[in-house]
Every structure is written in C-alpha cells, then in structure tokens.
Amino acid sequence: MTAPKLTQLKVKLFTDGADKAQIVEMAKQPWIAGFTTNPSLLKKAGVSDYAGYARELVAADRHISFEVFSDDVSEMVAQGRVIAGWGKNVYVKLPVTNTRGEPLFEAVRALSREGVKINMTAIFTGEQAARAIDALDGGAPACVSVFAGRLADFGIDYRPIMQDAIARARKTGNVEIIWASTREVFNVVEADAMGCHIITAPAEVLKKLPALATKTAAELSLMAVKSFRDDAVAAGLQLAVPASRAAE
C-alpha cells in the first residue's frame, strides 16, 4: 500500500488529547478537522473544572467531543444534555454500556432524535458497531468510535469490524465512523484506504503526517544507516580490530 500525501487524504483528521495548549496548537493547522477527549485524558491533563475547560475549547469552532462520566444511564443522559449545551460544535460521547454492561443504545437513540450530536464510544465488536449505527441512523449528526488500536494491542484483527462498520454507516445520512485509539501513522493510511470517515490520533502521531510520501523506502534505509553512524561517532564508541582482521 503506497502512502498518500497529506493533501491527498480523504479521511478527516482529529486530534485526540486533553492538553489545552496542545489543542490550541493543533487548531492552528487547517488540516485538523476536530478534537476528541475522554475522562482518562482529562485526568492526565489535570482538568478539574470540566465545564469551564470545555467552554474555553469550543471556541475552536470545529467538532469537539466531550464524554459523560456518570455510571447511571439516566444520569448519563442528563449529563449529555448539559454537555450538548456547551456549543453547536460539541458532540456528546456516551459509552456503549455502563460498567455493569447495561447498553446505552436506546439512550443515544432518544438523545439523537432530540437533536443532540452523539459520539458513541468504546466500540469493540461488530455487533456493538451495528447496533450503535442503527440507533443513531436518522437522528442528529453522529459518530461511532471503533477502538481499532486497542483491538490490535490484544492481537485481534480490527479490519473486518472496521470495514463492516464503515459500510453500514455509509448507508445512513448522518453517521460517521471514527477510527479510534490510533497507534501509528500507518493507521491513518489504512483508515483512508478503507474509506473511514474520521481518524482521531494523538498529536505526536498527527505531526508526522506532513512527511507522508516524501521519502522512498530506500531513502529511509539510508537515513537509518546514517543516523546509526552519526550516533556511534557522537557517543565516542570505539572497537579495536586486530590488524589481521582489518586486512581481510
């Protein structure tokens, strides 16, 4: 599979993270179409005033997802309505189930038909993806986040799930698939080739994209050899070779 140039990518690029300075920095890039966050990323970024933090970021005026954090389905729905009020570009992230395994398909169906933009997240199975797409079909603009990267981490082939979800979503008029938990630049190439609508990735991955298709594999090989040589010299590495060996 040949890597396309950044300007040739059809998949929309979202930054996944909660560091405010990083989001502001990435928002300066015209090729960044949106942002996703989650409670784990918020914790890592030290966010305590959720509403205040969010209201500052919605000014970016691009898709931005904020997740509910209750474990009670009815309260999750209530939180979703609050989050939706933070801005027209806000998508409410709701997990596929709560921690007791109670599904949220009917909850997102109702919210979507109220006009709330939904990002249904933590999707790991084909059945979950199919039911999420069905629940959101015909409602407000929505996304379904399939955790391809985490599936790969556990040796599970995410490609059939992604391909099926993309095909199902493209039959709707309002649902897009997000390739989530991205691990490497090649995931962007894969997502684009599959026709995925969106891929969300950490900033450190996305910052590598301008270099797409700028080097051949042979050039990369030579660059690697040169970097090894430069590092050996910089480290002052020495290895005495017997004269008899040197002459061979």
Q: How far is CA 210 from CA 32, 149, 199, in A?
A: 12, 22, 16
Active site residue 93: yes
* Spatial separation of the C-alpha atoms in residues 129 and 172, rounded to whole Å: 13
Choose, from 28, 93, 117, 226, the residue flagged as catalytic: 93
The C-alpha atoms of residue 148 and residue 179 are separated, in whole angstroms, by: 6
Decide: residue 40, CB within 10 A, 0-12 exposed, 13-18 middle, 19+ buried: exposed
Give the residue numbers marked as catalytic.
93
